[in-house]
Amino acid sequence: PLVLGIETSCDETGVGIVRGHTLLADAIASSVDQHARFGGVVPEVASRAHLEAMGPTVERALADAGVAFTDVDALAVTAGPGLPGALMVGVAAAKAYALSLGKPLYGVNHLAAHVCVDQLEHGPLPKPCVAMLVSGGHSSLLLVPDVAGDVRPLGSTVDDAAGEAFDKVARVLDLGFPGGPVIDRMAREGDPAAIAFPRGKYNDGTYDFSFSGLKTAVARWVEAKERAGEPVPVADVAASFQEAVVDVLTQKALKVCKDNGVDHLLIGGGVAANSRLRALAAERCAAAGVHLRVPRPKLCTDNGAMVAALGSELVASGIGPSDLELPADSSLPVEAVLVP
Ligand code: ATP
Ligand code: MG
Ligand code: FE
């Protein structure tokens, strides 16, 4: 079936089109530039941008895929979690399209979609697999027996998300927003062993993360340098901070694999675009005999293709569709893959 997916949970208006596991279009309009001067996403600005971008982005996706709107067999939309006003724009648009085309609508979980998107690149997900989801709003470890119907949270961050830590540290270093890509770039020129930043909850036996202590440690270290009138070695700070994050992430992800006897690990979400995370995960998975799957960077950050991918999986599994009255749910729990 041909599935069109709509994503508006944060600052990306994404419209993707898939047929089965085949990606046909992945159109994105981002309002990130409008948020940059505020140092973070402004919900009202994001909602308004979604409203303006929705129609043109749908049209671009249909043109890219070379299909007509009437060819679409089903629609999928991110129902949550995310910014309430932003989600509402996507859900309202998807309902209107579904109603006017007379096609079923699948209101899906954004986090499960971040996991499912890898099927477009690497084929069907092994059952079960472990998924680590690392983004601006989430850092979670999941056991995934079946992405369409059985997603189990094992641990998550107790304070900041991994991407949030990148964004906050970038602010401390005056590198702009979003921080992930620029820290990734700066870190290549720096020494990851230059500064021993703390690794929160490293060996505490849980599957949880904590990044706020690390963020504070970086801020203190930079302040001390500035007070002493010494230059801040930005590349070394970036590299050492990044190393602390990816060290903990990979250590915990492999612990989940080992403890559950699962030898497939998938990493998704915006932070999965990080080059050092990808390299260290590859190294440690190879050493542990775990097969690693990470989608290409463009599929890691928010996009519509991931929503279409999960919609397509649900259609294939015979689960759903949703009721056309379905609500947007800003705090939808990760185990709720489909909103009925
Ligand atoms: P959600 O948490 O609901 O999934 P989100 O808005 O965080 O939504 P994503 O696009 O998945 O959406 O992730 C964005 C985050 O990923 C930002 O915090 C950004 O700094 C981070 N990020 C993007 N690229 C990189 C990178 N190369 N290295 C590290 N972090 C990155
Ligand atoms: Mg974003
Ligand atoms: Fe996301």
**Gap between the Cα atoms of 330 and 78, Å rounded:** 10
Give 259 Cα–ligand 2 centroid separation in angstroms. Answer: 32
**Gap between the Cα atoms of 145 and 245, Å rounded:** 27
**Gap between the Cα atoms of 218 and 214, Å rounded:** 6
pLDDT digit string (tens) for the chain, length 340 residues = 999 999 999 999 999 999 999 999 999 998 888 888 887 888 999 999 999 999 999 999 999 999 999 999 999 999 999 999 999 999 999 999 999 999 999 999 999 999 999 999 999 999 999 999 999 999 999 999 999 999 999 999 999 999 999 999 999 999 988 899 999 999 999 999 999 999 999 999 999 999 999 999 999 999 999 999 999 999 999 999 999 999 999 999 999 999 999 999 999 999 999 999 999 999 999 999 999 999 999 999 999 999 999 999 999 999 999 999 999 999 999 999 999 9
**Gap between the Cα atoms of 204 and 114, Å rounded:** 27
User: pTM here?
Assistant: 0.95
Q: Which helix (H) or strand (E) holds 182?
A: helix 179-187
The ipTM of this complex is 0.97
| 134 known ligand binder | yes
**Gyration radius of the chain over CA positions:** 20
Residue nearest to atom 20 of ligand 1 (CA): 180
**CB of 139 shorter than 6 A to ligand 1:** no
Please write the tens of the pLDDT for every residue from 153-164: 999 999 999 999
Give 135 Cα–ligand 2 centroid separation in angstroms. Answer: 9
| 167 known ligand binder | yes
Best residue among 302, 303, 310, 334 to mutate for probing ligand 1's pocket (most ligand atoms within 8 Å of CB) is 302
